[in-house]
Structure 1
Amino acid sequence: MIKYVPVFGLFLIGGLVSHAVENSVAVPPSTSDTPEAPFPSGELLSDHVAEAEFTGIIHRKCMFRTSLCPDKCAHPKDFATFRIIKYLDYRKPGKYGDEKQEKLMVDVNPDHKPILQDASILKQIAAFKPGDKVVLHWSHYYMHKDSSSFPERPVISIQPLSPSGREKKE
């Protein structure tokens, strides 16, 4: 009789495993079954249009503030910097919107994917040389997604200026 106990035990365990596989809760859904994340809502806090000068790309190093630093964190970043020459338009419909700025920094890392930033803007920025003058349009939004709220400052458009200070017609 002792010879049959291990075989009987395997039969019981096998029965439990087969029920777990048939249960839809135990099997993770395939990637095609998962719905797309809903697009976050947000409110416009300020809108900026300014003539600016591209001053170049700067690199910010990791500040070593997490256990993932420096190899696995996403802290080191490259930023395109623009010096604001003059404002052409400015609106602040929100109480907490950004004030007029003296410079603008745009994250140009391909891994950073802001929700509202168009990828074509990063391609345009890559073509600029220090000293190039542009008309920048960017906004300050306060986004809401799931139970999180966060600021987002996408560049809406960049128009290169000709040397005379007028927009180039492309």
Structure 2
Amino acid sequence: MQHTTAHALTADYIRSHIRTVPDWPAPGVQFRDITPLLQNPKVFRVLIDEFVHRWFDLKPDAVAGLDARGFILGAVVAYELNVGFVPIRKKGKLPYTTVEESYELEYGSATVEMHTDAVKPGDRVVLIDDLIATGGTMTAGLRLLQKLGAEVIEGAAIVDLPELGGSRRIRDAGLPLFTLVDYDGH
């Protein structure tokens, strides 16, 4: 991914505040923990501003966030852009009429859903999560939004783990993707 010098400096700053937890949740996994980004008010503001400034002129109608860390980012970004926020939740968590989409995991499958009135046909939506691994959750979120007629203008995450192939799968599904920090390996 080609970054401007300012963006590269911001990405390095963000990366310096991501904690790597070895062997969690399983041996051999290097877990990229974004919670330190949220704990420091200056770092959190830099992180949010990076997304807000990217979409300020695109004027999306809504920001959709994927359960659960995408809620943290998406809600704040939506607030700053003065647009609505759409939670895409794990199955069984929403109280109203929903539309759902299942996707494959390494072992088994999962389902996400959102309210049927969360977006309207033609709404321009940004879809956000904290990390891209296999891409299953984000592509399921994309399909959900498309089922209701929304145009997903871009997907975004703080971290991309490109070796797991998720960012490629997301782009192959037709969704432009913006990430701040890439890690080789996983």
Query: TM tier, shorter chain?
Result: under 0.3
Higher helix share: 2
Higher RCO (C-alpha under 8 Å, 6+ residues apart): 1
TM norm structure 1: 0.22
Higher strand share: 1
